[in-house]
Amino acid sequence: MDRRAFVTGLGAVLAAPRAAWAQQTGKLARLGLLRFGPASAYAGRVEALRTGLRELGYVEGKNVVIEFRWAETADQLSELAAELVHLNVDVIFATSSTEVAAARRATKTVPIVFATHADPESLGHVATLARPGGNITGLSMLHTELVTKGLEIMKQTLPHMKRLGVLVPLTAPSHRPALKAVEATAPRLEVQVIPVPVQTAEGFAGAFATMARERVDGVLVLGSAFTASHPTRLAELALKQRLPSMFTVRENVEAGGLMSYSPDLNDLTRRAATHIDKILKGAKPADLPVEQASKYDLIINLKTAKALGLTIPPSVLLRADQVIE
């Protein structure tokens, strides 16, 4: 399917003030959705966004149109963000730091809403979480804190782990503070960090082969739109190299990865609809505080553990929110 032709309508029947605005202006509000990765890998999040909009009274074909733009490579994001600005969309929904960076380069005036941003304050995408101060706001998964907790859980699961491979997606601006946090935590756990960068899907096999040659005891995959778009491939490579893996997206574990520690990203995406609605009703992104994930789930795939010959310690199993058998 041609990515430029993939444009879907999504409408809204809103509360009375918004409905009155639409009747007075005769204009449809336009929401642009910018995402790195195939549409098939993001279907659950799109449905979560639609659910959030429906909960606010939105119905297809009335007051809002969604313009979808899917980037096949990270390099395409800037061009697609510029397209959305040229379309005069009222809001750009740029879910993670990867898409926000591109949207920010394209506009300083069109409101930008994110749902699963890794670390918006550290990356300078907002001034502070409480007062974003610009045209960007949304919800954060607090990835920097997330990966350090994931490393601690890995050490509890693999107490003899001495060498940790970290798959670093260079396409995500958030990889820098995340890797820095992992490297700061590792000495306390007596773990040596082996960063292995990757920028394309074709590079995954080589990255895992490198980690195997480095004789790492496990792999921590830094979260990003890029790595989340290839859950099956990453799970297969980790199993092929017999490397226990920790992810920050549950879909990676459902596809065969060993563990994930993450918030409910579908829930964060659903909640982002509230920010979009407020902006369409006149609120300024600068004044809308960034909300944060409040609950994190530990998911463990026991089938994968068995295939790797691992026994998950009872103390870790007891902490699990879901066990896949």
Over residues 62-75, the pLDDT tens digits come to 888 899 999 998 89
In order of start, what are the domains of the chain with their CATH numbers? 3-141+264-292 (3.40.50.2300), 143-263+296-324 (3.40.50.2300)
The arithmetic mean of pLDDT across residues 79-93, rounded, is 97
Residue 15 pLDDT exceeds 70: no
The arithmetic mean of pLDDT across residues 280-302, rounded, is 94
This prediction's pTM: 0.85
Sheet holding 136-140, edge to edge: 64-71, 29-36, 91-94, 112-117, 136-140, 291-292
Helix H or strand E encompassing 247: strand 245-247
pLDDT at residue 50, rounded to an integer: 87
- How many Cβ atoms are within 10 Å of 292's Cβ, its own excluded? 14
pLDDT at residue 53, rounded to an integer: 87
Phi, psi of 170 (to 5 degrees): -70, -15
pLDDT at residue 57, rounded to an integer: 76
Say which amino acid occupies 204: F
pLDDT at residue 142, rounded to an integer: 84
pLDDT at residue 202, rounded to an integer: 94
- Residue pair 175/147 in contact by the 8 Å Cβ criterion: no
- Residue pair 44/231 in contact by the 8 Å Cβ criterion: no
Residue 179 pLDDT exceeds 90: yes
Across the chain, mean pLDDT equals 89
Give the rounded distance of the alpha carbon of 268 from its chain centre.
10
pLDDT at residue 167, rounded to an integer: 97
pLDDT digits (tens, 9 = 90+) for 101-156: 999 999 999 999 999 998 999 899 999 999 999 999 999 988 888 899 999 999 99
